[in-house]
């Protein structure tokens, strides 16, 4: 039987020397199935005597049928942003802690990988956000994607920022707070959840706006249509030093008067899961629902 995926690249957590055994075990499983296996260049640098072809992210985007991420959710977030424009599907092996996105444990890796190569798997398409910061001082733009969330937050630890938010050109509110989280459904179980936001089904076409420690308790999270365009302005004044962070990994500087535009990206991330993947089962396990107090 032909494999569902043949040219497979492995991507691990950057600079983590503890992933070598799992990466090599996975490569042997794939090679036994006749797959062409390659290592992303930073992954290869952390493993001695691997004997596998080394590829760049550009080469993975152009030539791979599947990217397998070995690590935690943060590693998969980075891979998702890199692979989405070339429609490369992503599968996660969980070496992290929480693991909402990387859902195969090393203990079941051989069984699940063989099932997936046999064509027994589920595929999800999940939305990303694209953020553009329009810098009014010099007319330049800073652009980044986010799979989990875009956070507009204060720079100084002890000070708030003051923002104005618009949805599709319509004024939503003016607020003093520690910041705002704009989250995808995927990111609803991340920073947005810890800040009081709701959990969304990952298949939803929606975004959440969650205030971070607002000055007034009347400000609440709001869920809006995924096709909306959000604009946020950092208002002029002493409470104006802010930054924009995408997925907790990419920082874009912001000063008062800059315009922050957030919308859904045109392409979706393709996630591969074991057959009969159950998101609610993952929620119960990770959030300890139903446990005895």
Catalytic residue, candidates 73, 178, 247, 258:
73
The answer to whether the CB of 160 falls within 8 A of the CB of 154 is yes
Q: Which of 290, 287, 269 is nearest to 279 (CA)?
A: 287
In angstroms, the CA 103 to CA 72 distance is 9
Q: Residue 228, Cβ neighbours under 10 Å: how many? A: 15
CA atoms within 13 A on the CB side of 40: 26
- C-alpha torsion sign, points 126, 77, 284, 119: positive
Encoding tokens for residue 251? 């920082």
Q: Would you state the structure tokens that stand for residue 269, as one six-digit string?
A: 């991330």
Query: Where in 95-229 does DSSP place strands (E)?
Result: 121-126, 129-134, 141-146, 149-154, 161-167, 170-177, 179-183, 206-212, 222-225
Q: Is 203 labeled as catalytic in the residue annotation?
A: no
Distance CA 214, CA 179 (A): 8
Give the residue numbers marked as catalytic.
73
């Amino acid at each position: 039987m032909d494999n569902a995926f043949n040219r497979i690249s492995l991507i691990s957590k950057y600079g983590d020397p503890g992933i070598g055994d799992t990466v090599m075990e996975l490569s042997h499983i794939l090679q036994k199935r006749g797959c062409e296996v390659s290592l992303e260049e930073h992954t290869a640098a952390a493993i001695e005597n691997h004997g596998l072809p080394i590829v760049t992210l550009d080469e993975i985007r152009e030539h791979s049928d599947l990217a397998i991420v070995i690590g935690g959710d943060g590693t998969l977030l980075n891979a998702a942003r890199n692979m989405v424009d070339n429609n490369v599907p992503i599968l996660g092996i969980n070496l992290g802690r929480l693991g909402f996105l990387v859902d195969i444990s090393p203990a079941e890796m051989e069984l699940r990988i063989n099932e997936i190569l046999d064509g027994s798997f589920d595929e999800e398409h999940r939305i990303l956000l694209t953020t553009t910061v329009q810098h009014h001082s010099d007319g330049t733009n800073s652009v980044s994607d986010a799979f989990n969330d875009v956070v507009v937050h204060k720079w100084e630890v002890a000070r708030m920022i003051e923002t104005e938010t618009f949805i599709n050109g319509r004024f939503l509110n003016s607020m003093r707070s520690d910041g705002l989280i704009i989250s995808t459904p995927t990111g609803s179980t991340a920073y947005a959840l810890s800040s009081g936001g709701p959990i969304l089904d990952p298949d939803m076409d929606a975004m959440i706006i969650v205030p971070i420690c607002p000055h007034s308790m009347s400000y609440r999270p709001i869920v809006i249509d995924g096709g909306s365009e959000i604009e946020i302005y950092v208002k002029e004044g002493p409470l104006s030093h802010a930054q924009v962070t995408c997925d907790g990994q990419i920082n874009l500087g912001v000063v008062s008067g800059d315009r922050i535009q957030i919308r859904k990206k045109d392409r979706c991330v393709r996630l591969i899961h074991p057959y009969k993947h159950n998101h609610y089962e993952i929620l119960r396990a990770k959030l300890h629902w139903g446990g005895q107090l």
